[in-house]
């Protein structure tokens, strides 16, 4: 049969497309984040500016959300399929910038700017009747930047609190620039020094505690740091308070301004270098909240990985970590953009959804709203992504969420690997410096197609290794949803 008319040709083409399997149809289109994850707006109390500082899910199914403005609201049925049906009511007002919530034994613990408090609804009317001070073991003087971010309880029954420096530059008040552990009974344990300007705190699946620090003096770019007890985190401004405690040993020597991170780490034994450096204006500008995917696969293939917000970019980033020589390091990878305001608080719910709270007060954000409360849900489709990036003595090993196309994966022209670091200095921030390009000499693919081994001519200790994989395809012919990863290589494994 000969088809002569244009109409007949189009009709046949449409029939072919309709009969084609859905997966093959999708190969002709470039995927976007919206093909896998949906951002839903959750209603907030009418007339209330709710700049969410933290979330906590209560045993009765309610969700507590605190505000930078000192309020705590309880959200009823927060996991409702229809977010417009979620309602809320005031639990407690008149607090001071609540940036941490934790539930334990019938009490809701709140980390305020000047103390850790605990609250209880004694008569069951949905509002707190009792407010008690648990610990006020640090000082404030009203400075705008004196933030205090509080964690959930650790396995030993402690809340970890990270304290911003006075004005984010100096430590005029006790324990500014420190991390403290607060016990249920109010016991206050100085735990780490060297903090500058935290934007969030959280734990990994093992219970190790991390915080985000932001670009400024002694911080060339924003970072994710491991709060190893007894460690110095890099900013010497708060070291004067070693004189008031012997809880973490002797005061460390000050780092040398103008040096490099790993040069100083080799000299200062208690200095814990950043686990992740978020390249400035590439991954964000204001690293914020931290949460760990322990959803058992309800949020996609990222079980055990950390998700970190960025307030300026209004995004959520993804972090895969490994431990080498007792130190955490790893890669950061873009995940999701398009939130309504500047991302601050992030927390997973039991149904695998991710709640995100936003604010733009004090800083601009790509999200144009002054505040936002949103929920992210996965639709069950697996994106083609870099799942993990691990360091090897002579390169990197990549795992992917889907099998790769062997032809593009073994073609070394599809990989570029520039490297750079930052000046470790008392001045504000740092440009990228010490640029060196590493070359991928060979790439091999595992039998199942999900692992690629990259052999590199030379690795550069202390550098961010910025891996681009723009030409890589999956076996289905799809490009990577995010074809870049940034690995902070502090330690090179020996074998």
pLDDT digit string (tens) for 309-354?
Answer: 999 999 999 999 999 999 999 999 999 999 999 999 999 999 999 9
Check residue 260 and give its pLDDT. 98
- What gap in Å lies between CA 137 and CA 32, rounded to an integer? 48
Query: Would strands 463-468 and 37-41 be described as parallel, antiparallel, or unpaired?
Result: unpaired
- What gap in Å lies between CA 277 and CA 215, rounded to an integer? 10
Best CA proximity match to 404, nearest among 450, 444, 470: 450
CB within 8 Å of 5: residues ≥ 6 apart: none
Q: Which of 22-26, 177-181, 385-389 has the lowest mean pLDDT?
A: 22-26
| 475 burial level (CB within 10 Å; 0-12, 13-18, 19+) | middle
CB atoms within 10 A of CB 249: 11
CB atoms within 10 A of CB 461: 14
Best CA proximity match to 91, nearest among 108, 114, 103, 77: 108
Dihedral (CA of 335, 337, 339, 341) sign: positive
Q: Whose structure tokens read 């686990």?
A: 275
DSSP result, 341-389 = S-EEEEEE-TTS-EEEEEE-TTS--SS-SSEEEEEEEE-SPPP--EEEE
Main-chain dihedrals φ then ψ at residue 251, nearest 5 degrees: -60, 130
- What gap in Å lies between CA 63 and CA 74, rounded to an integer? 6
Question: Which architecture, in CATH terms, is 385-489?
Answer: Sandwich (2.60)
3-state secondary structure (DSSP) of residue 433: strand
Residue 20 has pLDDT above 90, yes or no: no
For the segment 280-307, the average pLDDT, to the nearest whole number, is 98
Delimit the domains of the chain by residue range.
37-378, 385-489
Residue 491 has pLDDT above 70, yes or no: yes
What Cα–Cα distance (Å) separates residue 448 from each residue in 226, 392, 400, 403, 431? 34, 20, 11, 7, 41
CB within 8 Å of 93: residues ≥ 6 apart: 70, 71, 72
For the segment 287-315, the average pLDDT, to the nearest whole number, is 98
3-state secondary structure (DSSP) of residue 335: strand
Q: Which helix (H) or strand (E) holds 17?
A: helix 6-19
| 426 burial level (CB within 10 Å; 0-12, 13-18, 19+) | middle
Give per-residue pLDDT as tens, 112-164: 999 999 999 999 999 999 999 999 999 999 888 999 999 999 999 999 999 99
Question: Is residue 29 very low, low, confident or very high in pLDDT (cuts 50, 70, 90)?
Answer: confident
Tell me, which fold does domain 37-378 have in CATH?
A: Neuraminidase (2.120.10)
Size (the chain), residues:
495
Give me the chain's average pLDDT, please.
94
For the segment 450-460, the average pLDDT, to the nearest whole number, is 98
Q: Which of 10-19, 53-62, 272-281, 383-392 has the lowest mean pLDDT?
A: 10-19
What Cα–Cα distance (Å) separates residue 261 from each residue in 264, 431, 462? 5, 14, 7
For the segment 458-475, the average pLDDT, to the nearest whole number, is 98
Q: Whose structure tokens read 């000050």?
A: 254
């Amino acid at each position: 049969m000969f088809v002569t008319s244009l109409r007949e040709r189009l009709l046949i083409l449409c029939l072919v497309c309709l009969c084609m399997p859905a997966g093959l149809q999708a190969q002709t289109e470039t995927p976007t984040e919206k093909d896998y994850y949906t951002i839903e707006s959750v209603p907030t109390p009418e007339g209330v500016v709710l700049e969410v500082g933290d979330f906590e899910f209560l045993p009765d199914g309610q969700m507590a959300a605190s505000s930078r403005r000192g309020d705590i609201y309880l959200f009823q049925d927060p996991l409702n399929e229809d977010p417009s049906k979620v309602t809320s009511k005031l639990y407690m007002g008149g607090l001071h910038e609540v940036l941490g919530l934790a539930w334990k034994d019938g009490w809701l613990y709140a980390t305020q700017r000047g103390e850790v408090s605990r609250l209880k609804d004694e008569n069951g009317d949905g509002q707190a009747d009792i407010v008690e001070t648990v610990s006020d073991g640090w000082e404030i003087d009203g400075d705008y930047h004196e933030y205090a971010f509080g964690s959930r309880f650790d396995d030993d029954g402690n809340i970890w609190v990270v304290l911003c420096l006075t004005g984010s530059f100096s430590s005029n008040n006790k324990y500014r620039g420190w991390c403290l552990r607060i016990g249920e009974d109010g016991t206050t344990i100085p735990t780490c020094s060297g903090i500058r300007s935290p934007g969030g705190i959280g734990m990994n699946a093992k219970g190790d505690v991390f915080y985000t620090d932001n670009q400024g003096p002694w911080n060339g770019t924003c970072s994710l740091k491991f709060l190893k007890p007894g460690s110095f985190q890099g900013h010497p401004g708060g070291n004067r308070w070693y004189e008031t405690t012997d809880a973490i040993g002797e005061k460390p020597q000050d780092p040398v301004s103008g040096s490099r991170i790993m040069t100083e780490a080799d000299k200062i034994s208690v200095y814990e270098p950043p686990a992740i450096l978020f390249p400035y204006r590439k991954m964000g500008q204001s690293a914020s909240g931290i949460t760990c995917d322990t959803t058992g696969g309800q949020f996609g293939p990222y079980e055990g990985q950390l998700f970190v917000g960025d307030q300026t970019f209004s995004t959520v980033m993804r972090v895969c970590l490994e431990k080498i020589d007792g130190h955490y390091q790893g890669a950061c990878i873009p995940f999701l953009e398009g939130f309504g305001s500047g991302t601050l608080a992030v927390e997973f719910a039991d149904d695998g959804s991710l709640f995100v709270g936003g604010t733009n007060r004090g800083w601009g954000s790509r999200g144009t709203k002054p505040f936002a409360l949103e929920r992210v849900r996965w639709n069950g489709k697996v994106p083609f992504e870099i799942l993990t990036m691990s360091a090897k003595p002579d390169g990197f090993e990549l795992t992917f969420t889907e099998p790769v196309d062997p032809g593009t994966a073994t073609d070394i022209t599809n990989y570029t690997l520039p490297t750079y670091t930052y000046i470790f200095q008392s001045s504000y921030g740092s440009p990228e410096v010490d640029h060196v390009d590493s070359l991928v000499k060979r790439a091999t693919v595992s039998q199942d197609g999900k692992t690629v081994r990259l052999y590199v001519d030379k690795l550069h200790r202390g550098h961010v290794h910025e891996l681009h994989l723009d030409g890589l395809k999956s076996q289905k012919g799809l490009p990577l949803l995010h074809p870049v990863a940034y690995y902070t290589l502090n330690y090179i494994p020996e074998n």
